[in-house]
């Protein structure tokens, strides 16, 4: 077997090992996470029947507040591509937690291979192997892909297409092959359809790289690429403003508000993202930045991709008033490569081969512990950890409640009132019903006479009579 074959095999084995770990984690997560997976799940389910009509509630049975994305009818709070992908998965294999998460599982399994390819072209194979290792076992990817971290599948979709576009752009500059330019356009369009205009960044990064390396002949094509890649987003915006003008105008205003105000309380100071980098990548990330800056001070392109681009991404989001930890997730492929390259370069300063390999192994393992966080994953799965940006107030209750709701025998089209703690989303995801936290007597009286109406009954939270937190339904209609 050639060295190239062994290298490719090692990358595939790393990705498969990470897939096995993530399947185990996901098997333990047999419930919908509140922020924001529940809402993504229900909208995706409703898109299986009407892909061009994003809906949270499948029908507007009662008046709703179009500003409340947790309880409205037409749902334009996120871009549609990742929802369409989950809807397609559900259409093909049925509605379930696994089919909801399947597109994200595929993306984070392929992502380490993309990172390795980019690292190999930017630096070398040893750096690529380490970067693949970091990407394969990233805690941030695993928990975002399973819905445990806020914004979940939309961020995984953005990250995947962003990385494809970044790689395509670099390969286009390296070889001038138009198929890579096409890949850059398509992937950037997909990134924008996953999370709005930020998906345009890979083309801008490639455009600046072309100017930096004086490849001016590429600039006209890259400028045209901006127009072509933005076309699907423009079409979607025109369509939604025509079909749903009130909701579309409001959500567009909210997008603009992220820069000037802390939307929904997501705020932070100047240390927000440095602290986030420390938590996600460990203390060595800052040392690696300094080492990589010194190592590549004479390599303009490497300095640009490995240092300037990640810093710019963090700086742009730091300037915004709204701050969330996963906003800088799109910088992670380059951060993994930067850390890997710095560790390899540091080890090369030692002449003794055995000592060099030992030092590199130790540094990689220290960094991997910070990136993969196996201790946090273990506590999260077995001790209901709240922290590291994960919001699980009572994990055992979530599991029991989900199992209880799924086991209920509810007729299609029924109406349920009295659902607690966003359980109304679970009712509608697992059953073809309409569920609400509460309905007034006037609203109940206004329901059609052919609808079955049920009141959800919950046991006291401190109940210890049985080891199952379940919900039952009591009919309050004459049907």
424 in the same domain as 358: no
363 in the same domain as 408: no
Work out the widest C-alpha separation in the chain, in whole angstroms: 85
State CA 414 to chain mean position distance: 33
408 in the same domain as 323: no
Please tell me the pTM assigned to this model.
Answer: 0.95
If you write DSSP's letter for every residue of 144-168 in order, what string do you get? HHTT-BTTHHHHHHHHHHHHHHHHH
450 in the same domain as 413: yes
In a domain, 427, yes or no: yes
User: What tens digit of pLDDT does each residue of 111-153 get?
Assistant: 999 999 999 999 999 999 999 999 999 999 999 999 888 788 9
Least confident of 40-44, 57-61, 196-200, 463-467: 463-467
For Cα atoms 73, 78, 84, give the angle at the middle one, nearest 5 degrees: 85
- Residue 185 corresponds to which tokens in the numbers above? 């356009």
In a domain, 388, yes or no: no
Q: Residue 59: how many CB atoms within 10 A of its CB?
A: 10
220 in the same domain as 105: yes
Residue 262, SS3?
Answer: coil
User: What tens digit of pLDDT does each residue of 231-287 get?
Assistant: 999 999 999 999 999 999 999 999 888 888 888 878 889 899 999 999 999 999 999
Tell me if 130 sits within 8 A of 288, measured CB to CB. no
Alpha-carbon distance of 329 to 123, in angstroms, equals 21
Domain boundary among 380, 404, 423: 380
Domain boundary among 329, 356, 380: 380
247 in the same domain as 98: yes
219 in the same domain as 97: yes
400 in the same domain as 373: no
- Backbone φ and ψ for 473, nearest 5 degrees, come out as -115, 140
In a domain, 118, yes or no: yes
356 in the same domain as 222: yes
434 in the same domain as 298: no
169 in the same domain as 122: yes
Alpha-carbon distance of 249 to 28, in angstroms, equals 40
Domain boundary among 351, 380, 409: 380
Q: How confident is the model at residue 478 (pLDDT cuts 50, 70, 90)?
A: very low
In a domain, 463, yes or no: yes
Q: How confident is the model at residue 465 (pLDDT cuts 50, 70, 90)?
A: very low
User: What tens digit of pLDDT does each residue of 417-434 get?
Assistant: 999 889 999 999 999 999
The answer, yes or no, to whether residue 392 has pLDDT greater than 80, is no
In a domain, 189, yes or no: yes
Tell me if 209 sits within 8 A of 168, measured CB to CB. no
User: What is the DSSP pairing of strand 472-475 with strand 453-457?
Assistant: antiparallel
Domain that holds residue 184: 3-380
In a domain, 391, yes or no: no
In a domain, 363, yes or no: yes
Residue 406, SS3?
Answer: helix
In a domain, 166, yes or no: yes
Query: What is the average pLDDT score of the chain?
Result: 91
Give the orientation angle of helix 423-430 with respect to helix 37-47, to 10 degrees.
30
239 in the same domain as 104: yes
Look at the chain and report how many structural domains it folds into: 2
Alpha-carbon distance of 336 to 302, in angstroms, equals 14
User: What tens digit of pLDDT does each residue of 21-70 get?
Assistant: 999 988 888 899 988 899 999 999 999 999 999 999 999 988 899 999 99
């Amino acid at each position: 077997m050639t060295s190239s074959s062994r290298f490719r095999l090692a990358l595939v084995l790393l990705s498969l090992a990470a897939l096995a770990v993530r399947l185990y984690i996901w098997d333990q997560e047999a419930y919908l996470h509140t922020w924001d997976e529940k809402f993504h799940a229900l909208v995706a389910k409703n898109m299986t029947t009407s892909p061009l009509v994003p809906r949270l509630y499948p029908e507007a049975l009662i008046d709703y507040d179009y500003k409340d994305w947790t309880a409205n009818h037409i749902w334009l709070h996120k871009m549609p591509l990742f929802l369409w992908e989950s809807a397609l998965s559900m259409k093909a294999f049925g509605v379930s937690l696994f089919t909801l998460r399947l597109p994200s599982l595929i993306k984070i399994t392929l992502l380490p291979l993309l990172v390795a390819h980019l690292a190999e072209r930017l630096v070398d194979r040893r750096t690529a192997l380490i970067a693949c290792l970091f990407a394969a076992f990233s805690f941030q990817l695993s928990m975002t892909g399973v819905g445990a971290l806020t914004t979940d599948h939309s961020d995984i979709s953005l990250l995947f297409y962003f990385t494809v576009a970044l790689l395509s752009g670099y390969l286009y500059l390296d070889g001038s092959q138009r198929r890579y330019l096409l890949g850059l356009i398509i992937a950037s369009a997909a990134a924008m359809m996953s999370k709005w205009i930020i998906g345009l960044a890979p083309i801008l990064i490639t455009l600046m790289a072309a100017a930096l390396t004086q490849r001016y002949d590429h600039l006209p094509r890259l400028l045209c690429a901006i127009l072509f890649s933005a076309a699907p987003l423009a079409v979607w915006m025109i369509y939604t403003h025509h079909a749903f003008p009130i909701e579309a105008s409001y959500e567009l205003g909210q997008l603009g508000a992220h820069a000037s105000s802390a939307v929904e309380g997501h705020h932070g100071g100047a240390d927000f993202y440095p602290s986030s980098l420390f938590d996600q990548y460990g203390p060595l990330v800052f040392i690696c930045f300094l080492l990589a800056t010194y190592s590549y001070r004479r390599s303009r392109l490497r300095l640009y991709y490995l240092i300037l681009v990640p810093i710019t991404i963090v700086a742009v989001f730091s300037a915004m008033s709204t701050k969330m930890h996963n906003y800088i997730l799109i910088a992670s492929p380059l951060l993994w490569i930067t850390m890997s390259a710095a560790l390899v370069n540091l080890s090369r300063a030692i002449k003794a081969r055995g000592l060099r390999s030992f030092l590199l192994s130790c540094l990689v393992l220290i960094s991997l512990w910070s990136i993969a966080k196996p201790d946090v994953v273990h506590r999260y799965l077995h001790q209901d950890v709240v922290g590291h940006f994960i919001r699980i107030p009572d994990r055992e209750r979530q599991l029991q409640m989900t199992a209880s709701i799924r086991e209920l025998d509810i007729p299609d089209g029924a109406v349920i009132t009295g659902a607690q703690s966003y359980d109304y989303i679970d009712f509608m995801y697992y059953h073809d019903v309409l569920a609400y936290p509460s309905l007034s007597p006037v609203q109940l009286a206004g329901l059609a006479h052919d609808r079955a109406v049920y009141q959800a009954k919950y046991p006291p939270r401190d109940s210890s009579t049985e080891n199952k937190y379940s919900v039952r339904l009591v009919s309050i209609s004459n049907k």
